[in-house]
């Protein structure tokens, strides 16, 4: 049924309102450029060498700030691939059958070959009624975008976009360069800010730009430093903002460090293997966003225990303590030298890959 006229108008109005924070940042950035480059560097600085150095450094930070901000805003969030969507026949079966064992059987068949290891808090398969798909690991439904977003971190109003797998690196660089931008302005503007209060500046409009420029840069530096520090901690632990508030649930239970592979590998998962791209807002993250290597340390309660001193993988390749499904090629190399993934277990995993997921129950999530 087609949406009504008033409903369509309300949605369009909301879309326009969502851009207000972005427009505010854009206007603030434009004013800061005029205040620093023109009123401070060109009008107020008397030393030519100081002018040149400050303008070159400023424009470098300004360019990286704008570039990373642009990429964060206009990089579309990635959605689950077709393999996670239910087929037309499966959708019809779900609608036709009463909720219960029939639904569970349909989802069991649909999820048995998918690389998913996380569950809901009740241990059920993570299924989205809105998108009619089985959620990949670390995927969540965004109520603002009305879509399931791969490795969703949060929906950020300051970029009017979901921050997730496709643009999380850009978001981190945006925080880093905006923080450096503010710190650089505050540091180079400080001596002129002091002159303002000691009447050392000529009585022109430049001194008011200098004063407000320092206040704005100092205040944003404080807030950005805390936010950037928090996200650096998240990267070091291989967590998203959502996972920091609610730990992911695996078959064996909740594990707050289930996706952590160690500091170095956690960094590489976000920034990539080639360090020359780390500081540039170009996509270099590892993987496809649908599957992630895990480092589970707890024995699966559904699998039989193994006597001490025996390697469960060497005895029976199906009794892994880690997920039995194969990782994507772009992710699996992160675990080649991990202590939790022994060489014998890896070889056994190559011999026996693609095991079916156990019987799962369904829980509706939106």
Residues 329 and 320: their CA atoms lie apart, in Å, by: 19
Decide if 276 contacts 160 (C-beta within 8 A): no
* Farthest CA pair distance, the chain: 84
Residues 126 and 40: their CA atoms lie apart, in Å, by: 55
Return the number of other C-beta atoms located less than 10 Å from residue 266's C-beta: 19
DSSP assignment letter at 266: H
List CB contacts of 212: < 8 A, sequence separation 6 or more: 35
Q: Which of 41, 54, 156, 162 is catalytic?
A: 156
Q: What is the DSSP string of 156-169?
A: ETTTTEEESTTTHH
Decide if 134 contacts 361 (C-beta within 8 A): no
User: Measuring CA to CA, how many Å separate 102 from each of 128, 167, 312?
Assistant: 17, 39, 34
Active site residue 156: yes
Q: Is 270 helix (H, G, I), strand (E, B) or coil?
A: helix
Query: Any idea which residues carry the catalytic annotation?
Result: 156
């Amino acid at each position: 049924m087609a949406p009504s006229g008033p409903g369509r108008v309300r949605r369009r109005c909301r879309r326009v309102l969502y851009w207000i924070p972005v427009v505010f940042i854009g206007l603030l950035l434009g004013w800061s450029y005029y205040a620093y480059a023109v009123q401070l560097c060109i009008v107020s600085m008397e030393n030519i060498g100081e002018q040149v150095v400050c303008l070159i450094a400023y424009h470098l930070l300004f360019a990286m700030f704008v570039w990373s901000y642009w990429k964060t805003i206009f990089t579309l969030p990635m959605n689950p691939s077709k393999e996670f969507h239910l087929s037309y026949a499966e959708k019809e079966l779900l609608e036709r059958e009463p909720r219960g064992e029939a639904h569970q059987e349909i989802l069991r068949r649909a999820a048995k070959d998918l690389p998913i290891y996380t569950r809901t808090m009740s241990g059920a398969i993570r299924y989205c009624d809105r998108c009619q798909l089985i959620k990949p690991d670390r995927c969540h439904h965004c109520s603002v975008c009305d879509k399931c977003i791969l490795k969703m971190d949060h929906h950020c109003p300051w970029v009017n976009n979901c921050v997730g797998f496709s643009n999380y690196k850009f978001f981190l660089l945006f925080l880093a360069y905006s923080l450096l931008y503010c710190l650089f302005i505050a540091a180079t503007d400080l001596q002129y800010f002091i002159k303002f209060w000691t009447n050392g500046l000529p009585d022109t409009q430049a001194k008011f730009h200098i004063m407000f420029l320092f206040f704005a840069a100092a205040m944003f530096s404080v807030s950005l430093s805390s936010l950037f520090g928090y996200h650096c901690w998240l990267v070091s632990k291989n967590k998203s903002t959502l996972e920091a508030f609610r730990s992911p649930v695996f078959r064996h239970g909740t594990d707050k460090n289930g996706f952590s592979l160690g500091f170095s590998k956690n960094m590489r998962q976000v920034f990539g293997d080639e360090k020359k791209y780390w500081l540039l807002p170009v996509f270099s993250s590892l993987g496809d966003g649908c599957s992630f290597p895990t480092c589970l340390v707890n024995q699966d309660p559904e699998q039989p225990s193994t006597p001490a001193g025996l390697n469960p993988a060497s005895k029976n390749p199906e009794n892994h303590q880690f997920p039995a499904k194969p990782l994507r090629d772009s992710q699996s190399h992160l675990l080649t030298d991990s202590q939790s993934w022994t060489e014998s277990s890896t070889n056994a995993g190559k011999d026996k890959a693609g095991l079916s997921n156990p019987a799962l129950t369904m829980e509706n999530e939106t």
